[in-house]
Structure 1
């Protein structure tokens, strides 16, 4: 194994603040938005459908632009990182493997993530690439970023449909992370267990995966 590549949302970063911000923007209690988020997750739908359930006539393009003007656009901070991110990435670097980050995020989110100075060799996001998961082209770009063959690259993510299944289809090794709503909901399904080369409950387990490969 020459490279470990990481998804971003609910793998490296916690989405709690993001959804809380949307609840405040829509002027509803946080738990009122949490319920439809859980519903669309369970149904395998687009995350944004949770917002449409609360406001059926919402124009998300308009709302995203308005939030951006209000200073509430996508911005990732140190507080959004899960506690195991820095030590886990540093441990992988110490093992001599290339560490990259690649997920479905906006250009601004990518810039803010790079500004955090993570122990990673490269950070890239879908808006910069012009392709997004689960498209196979996204994973071709991941292997380019990895500077390794697909079978030498491990992709780590929480979402089976966006991370595990398409990465495997593209020929990459896969690790399913039992974290967040997507990671936990389908963790023990036959399909996920069959598709993932490894299942981990925390990023700290990856050093052992790499060392044992």
Structure 2
């Protein structure tokens, strides 16, 4: 049985509109331009921040982030940035007796902002706080330490296969692919994603329902098995 559910942040719990709009405004480029560049680099296997370096070759993103913060234009999150199903879904999982963790590739400041939202989660952390980022296996090792559950009892939920689904499976965890945001839709029906994901869902509500069904199928005292992939459309 699944004991711990770990959530990615960007386009899983939080909409990224504000994040990239802030960078576009800081760099003085149209928001659509940066959005398009982010789409291109991620679809080619890169990181979103690589788009910033296309606009400014050699850019030190950490220094630029610090400059934004010093100018009062740093990262910001509030309730409006959350997808509507986040609080109900996380709360439902805790009611089911699951441990809920939020852990994604974000800055330490983003981690503090997320904790300030007082989500129904047992722990919130980011790559900036852990000192290692997805898809590095060490990230998932840290997450499993935080989870306190065996890999096969832990599911990682995210929208981006290359940094969420595939490395989570490589770490022995179960994985759920969320059809949300550009990357979730782009790879929703990719054969490798379909083969790797234990669950595919288009909302956190449907994912919670699928995990509840998994509990019923496995029984309260039975360990979860890595086989048997389900889809919630």
TM-score, normalization by structure 1 = 0.95
1:49 correspondence with 2:35: no
> Structure 1 segments of 4 or more deviating over 3 A?
none
Query: Structure 2 unaligned runs (5+)?
Result: 215-233
Task: Give 1:114's aligned residue.
Answer: 115
Matches within 5 A, 1:1-213: 1-213=2-214
Distance (Å, rounded) in 2 between the aligned partners of 1:143 and 1:175:
16
Distance (Å, rounded) in 1 between the aligned partners of 2:140 and 2:63:
30
Q: What secondary structure is seen at the aligned counterpart in 1 of 2:200? A: strand
Distance (Å, rounded) in 2 between the aligned partners of 1:195 and 1:108:
32
CA shift, 1:167, in A, is 0.2
Distance (Å, rounded) in 1 between the aligned partners of 2:62 and 2:109:
16
Residue deviations 1:132-177, cap 9 Å, x none?
1111111111112112101001110011011000000000010001
Distance (Å, rounded) in 1 between the aligned partners of 2:128 and 2:65:
15
Distance (Å, rounded) in 2 between the aligned partners of 1:5 and 1:128:
16
Distance (Å, rounded) in 2 between the aligned partners of 1:27 and 1:149:
47
- Root-mean-square deviation (CA), in Å? 1.3
Distance (Å, rounded) in 1 between the aligned partners of 2:60 and 2:208:
44
Q: What secondary structure is seen at the aligned counterpart in 2 of 1:163? A: helix
Contact 1:41 1:181 (C-alpha < 8 Å) held by counterparts: no
Most deviating of 135-144 and 154-163: 135-144
Q: What secondary structure is seen at the aligned counterpart in 2 of 1:68? A: helix
TM-score, normalization by structure 2 = 0.87
Q: Count residues in correspondence.
A: 213
CA shift, 1:112, in A, is 1.0
Distance (Å, rounded) in 2 between the aligned partners of 1:98 and 1:81:
20
